[in-house]
Amino acid sequence: MAALTALAPRRGADLLTAFDRVRSGSRALAAPLSDADATVQSMPDASPAKWHLAHTTWFFETMVLKPNAPGYRVFDESFNYLFNSYYDSVGERQPRPRRGMITRPHLDRVTEYRAHVDGAVEDLLYGGVEPPVAELIELGLHHEQQHQELLLTDILHLFAQSPLKPAYRDPSPLPVRAATGEAGWVAFDGGIVEIGHDGRGFAYDCEGPRHQALIQPFRLADRCVTNGEWLDFMADGGYRDPLLWLSDGWAQILEHRWSAPLYWEERDGEWWAMTLRGMQPIDRDAPVAHVSYFEADAYAAWAGKRLPTEFEWERAAEGLSKDGNFAGGGLGRLRPRPAGAAGSGLRQMFGDVWEWTRSAFAPYPGFRPAAGAVGEYNGKFMNGQYVLRGGSCATPEGHIRATYRNFFQPDKRWQFSGLRLAEDA
């Protein structure tokens, strides 16, 4: 979920300030965790918090310092194997499903590693860097923000496996509101539209090149699908009707016996969900989260609608404020919140939940991976995955933009993934 196209990077003091902010943000996320919390891996898709902290540091050491900081002393040669992720050109690595076996180094040692690399990067920035190095550092910061979100979603999955259902942060119940009325609809004309990043500011390589796409007239729901609406889908047998499901999705139903979103649990006739604040009652008015593409597609079929394409979503989001329910500097709510009052436009386009689109993650016309190791990430994953848009309540504030393309396999549920309905106009 990362790669390169750093355009117009920050310079000098601005880049140093951004570096300190992002790196200290990761330390704050890890602060509530014990060494055991930070070491255990709950499933192959998730990674231990300690690994996230070390891998993002490995990026700066490997991609920035080793080739660009004369005299830099590598902290520990074994870390290149332990904390590489997917960079085959850099060397062998610990298999992803076995990252939880890295019981050593201790979390304190990883903290020392981060301090060692931080000091070296800061020294490099104080001395001034050429634009290509500044681009790599800015890329590393956006890469670390992605891992900040993954750290939160992976800790949520880990804590959900515990019989104690511990809270990552303040377990005080958040207010729960009654269900709202029907969603409104916003119409958009069809035509040839410009899609993709325009080259101003930072973007990942998969967000470009900017190109023309043809869309037909469509309407988009003005808010995300809610927990209350999902409960109606469940009550109407949505998880039991094979006619609603893609074949591979129905196979997941049969194999895993899905009957509700991930983390939902029924207690005395009431639905609760595991959250980063521990077990909490379902908020019927908030967006449904932790549903797979297969579930989102089945719900849309049940509702007589469809999921939007990523081009429709981007067309609708163009020019909208990117304010939303994000993790934020103070970690934020860490749970999707109900939409604000209905108006004449779209709500919840940024934050709360990543919104599944019906678009496969594929290269835009003219796409070329970046040269070297940093080009390994996005291009090699352009098969078998679907695009999500908009960010979530675990996404760092300021990390998202309308052209941002997140992507996961259609069966994945542990991210804060939800949906918004669309229809042909």
Q: 298 and 193, same structural domain?
A: yes
Does this model's pTM top 0.85? yes
Q: 207 and 146, same structural domain?
A: no
Residue 178 belongs to a domain: no
- Beta-carbon contacts of 128 under 8 Å, excluding residues fewer than 6 positions away, are 12
Phi, psi of 137 (to 5 degrees): -65, -45
Q: Count the neighbouring beta carbons within 10 Å of the beta carbon of residue 178.
A: 9
Write out the two tokens for 61. Answer: 């050491």
Query: Residue 281 to residues 67, 160, 269, 417: CA-CA distances in angstroms?
Result: 51, 15, 11, 19
Q: Which residues pair with 235 in a beta bridge?
A: none
Residue 4 belongs to a domain: no
Q: 316 and 205, same structural domain?
A: yes
The residue among 126, 160, 194 that closes a domain is 160
Amino acid at 415: Q
Residue 172 belongs to a domain: no
Q: 151 and 189, same structural domain?
A: no
Task: Give the CATH number of the domain where residue 406 resides.
Answer: 3.90.1580.10
Q: Which residues pair with 408 in a beta bridge?
A: 386
CA 141 to chain centre: 15
pLDDT at 257: 97
Residue 167 belongs to a domain: no
**Nearest of 35, 163, 146, 150 to residue 100 by alpha carbon:** 35
Per-residue pLDDT of the chain (425 residues; tens, 9 = 90+): 333 333 334 556 799 999 999 999 999 999 999 999 999 999 999 999 999 999 999 999 999 999 999 999 999 999 999 999 888 778 899 999 999 999 999 999 999 999 999 999 999 999 999 999 999 999 999 999 999 999 999 999 999 999 999 999 988 777 776 656 789 999 999 999 999 999 999 999 999 999 999 999 999 999 999 999 999 999 999 999 999 999 999 999 999 999 999 999 999 999 999 999 999 999 999 999 999 999 999 999 999 999 999 999 999 999 999 999 999 765 688 999 999 887 789 999 999 999 999 999 999 999 988 777 776 666 677 889 999 999 999 999 999 999 999 999 999 999 999 999 999 99
Domain coverage including residue 375:
185-424
Q: 417 and 294, same structural domain?
A: yes
pLDDT at 330: 57
Q: 198 and 132, same structural domain?
A: no
Q: 243 and 373, same structural domain?
A: yes
Give dist(CA 39, CA 105) in Å, integer. 10
pLDDT at 178: 60
pLDDT at 363: 94
Residue 179 belongs to a domain: no
The answer to whether 277 and 32 have CB atoms below 8 angstroms apart is no
Residue 169 belongs to a domain: no
Write out the two tokens for 329. Answer: 């500097």
pLDDT at 4: 35
What is the number of structural domains in the chain? 2
Q: What is the 3-state secondary structure (H, E, C) of the chain?
A: CCCCCCCCCCCHHHHHHHHHHHHHHHHHHHCCCCHHHHHCCCCCCCCCHHHHHHHHHHHHHHHHHHHHCCCCCCCCCCHHHHHCCCCCCCCCCCCHHHHHHCCCCCHHHHHHHHHHHHHHHHHHHHCCCCHHHHHHHHHHHHHHHHHHHHHHHHHHHHHHCCCCCCCCCCCCCCCCCCCCCCCCEEEECCEEEEECCCCCCCCCHHHCCCEEEEECCEEEECCCCEHHHHHHHHHCCCCCCHHHCCHHHHHHHHHHCCCCCCCEEEECCEEEEEECCEEEECCCCCECCCCCHHHHHHHHHHCCCECCCHHHHHHHHCCCCCCCECCCCCCCCCCCCCCCCCCCCCCCCCECCEEEEEEECCCCCCCCCCCCHHHHCCHHHCCCCEEEECCCCCCCCCCCCCCCCEEECCCCCCCCEECCCEEEC
Say if residue 105 is preceded by a cis peptide, omega within 30 of 0. Answer: yes
Q: 105 and 197, same structural domain?
A: no
Q: 190 and 129, same structural domain?
A: no
Q: 254 and 155, same structural domain?
A: no
Give dist(CA 370, CA 380) in Å, integer. 12
Q: 134 and 202, same structural domain?
A: no
Residue 87 belongs to a domain: yes
Residue 116 belongs to a domain: yes
Residue for token pair 């959250």: 275
Q: 418 and 375, same structural domain?
A: yes
